[in-house]
Amino acid sequence: MTVETVTNINDLVISNPQAGDPVADGDNHIRNIKTALKNNLGSISGAVTADQADLNRCDVTTEGTAEASKVVTTDASLMVKSLKLAETCYFANAATPTKQLGVDVSGATSSTTMTLSSSQTASRTLTLPDATDTLMAVSTNQAVQADIEAETNQDTYIPPDLLHHHPGIAKAWVKFTDTGSNGAQTVDASYPSGVTVNRSSAGNYTITWNRTFSSAEYCVLATAEESSGPDTFVTIGNLTAIATAITVKDDAGTTVAPTSVHIMAFGDI
């Protein structure tokens, strides 16, 4: 009588039962088969439609050797290295499988790979909008000052600290209020910080930009603000690489002290 002890499928002995075994042992052999199937395939609760080719493609290599015929390949530590699926594959939410994220590679060129690379130093989240759109490639190359000033046609980005080099952007500006006396005037706002304004007499001012232009050949725009009295206008006087002189006059051409002055300068620095 030869009846093996069976827990798993690989415990079954192919040669059992032997030709001379009693028929009465037949039920023990059947129970062994059922035990092995229940122990190893007990989680299957429905029909399995995959054939042997499908099942073979799901084999996971444990040596890190990628095989073109296999869906999943891993490295030596069993981390997944590649998934070979249909042209569109889906990641489904475990709790609600109808919530899915699809990845479509049908438009890709053969023998090419699109790599998503991350260098985060902390946990990050990439949130996709609720919209149909196309992501645009953005250059990670920084523009240099010369290219910014020349408005060179290239796929680069301008960092904030170099933005002021663009020819269309004011290199300096200031809004100041006349104090009613000569000397330093009240600077309400300026760019860059540290711009100063000095009044030599009523209506005559010198703005020191706290920034050096490459020459005195730059453009200045100015306007005066008057809360009461006649309309005023601003004339531009002497320009140096670091300062601008202005005079404020009324309609009659008389030099007057306005309430405040707004002035900006464009040029090369």
Residue 180's pLDDT is 94
Q: Are residues 183 and 244 in the same domain?
A: yes
- Is the pLDDT reported for residue 78 higher than 60? no
- Is the pLDDT reported for residue 156 higher than 90? no
Least confident of 68-82, 183-197, 248-262: 68-82
Q: Are residues 35 and 59 in the same domain?
A: no
Report the run of H or E that residue 260 belongs to, with start and end. strand 260-266
157 occurs within a structural domain: no
- 209 burial (CB, 10 Å; 0-12 / 13-18 / 19+) is buried
- Is the pLDDT reported for residue 148 higher than 80? yes
Q: Are residues 177 and 247 in the same domain?
A: yes
Q: Are residues 65 and 24 in the same domain?
A: no
C-alpha angle 264-147-172 in degrees, rounded to nearest 5? 15
How sure is the predictor about 62, in pLDDT bands with cuts at 50, 70 and 90? very low
Amino acid occupying residue 48 = V
Give the predicted TM-score (pTM) of the model.
0.52
Which whole number is the average pLDDT over 155-172? 88
Which whole number is the average pLDDT over 65-71? 51
User: How many domains is the chain built from?
Assistant: 3
Strand partners, 103: 89
150 occurs within a structural domain: no
Q: Are residues 201 and 240 in the same domain?
A: yes
155 occurs within a structural domain: no
Half-sphere CA count of 219, side-chain side, radius 13 A: 7
- Is the pLDDT reported for residue 81 higher than 70? no
78 occurs within a structural domain: yes
Based on its alpha-carbon atoms, the radius of gyration of the chain, rounded to whole angstroms, reads: 40
Q: Which domain holds residue 253?
A: 172-266
**Most confident by average pLDDT, 56-70, 107-121, 186-200, 216-230:** 186-200
Q: Are residues 93 and 33 in the same domain?
A: no
C-alpha angle 245-248-249 in degrees, rounded to nearest 5? 140
Give tens-digit pLDDT for 87-109. 778 888 888 888 988 888 888 89
CB burial of 66-81 (b: ≥16 within 10 Å; e: otherwise) equals eeeebeebbeeeeeee
Show Cβ contacts of residue 6 under 8 Å, excluding neighbours closer than 6 positions: 12, 32, 33, 35, 36
How sure is the predictor about 218, in pLDDT bands with cuts at 50, 70 and 90? very high
Give tens-digit pLDDT for 179-204. 999 999 999 999 999 999 999 999 99
Please state, in angstroms and as integers, the Cα–Cα distance from residue 182 to each residue in 11, 205, 262, following that order. Answer: 105, 9, 18
252 occurs within a structural domain: yes
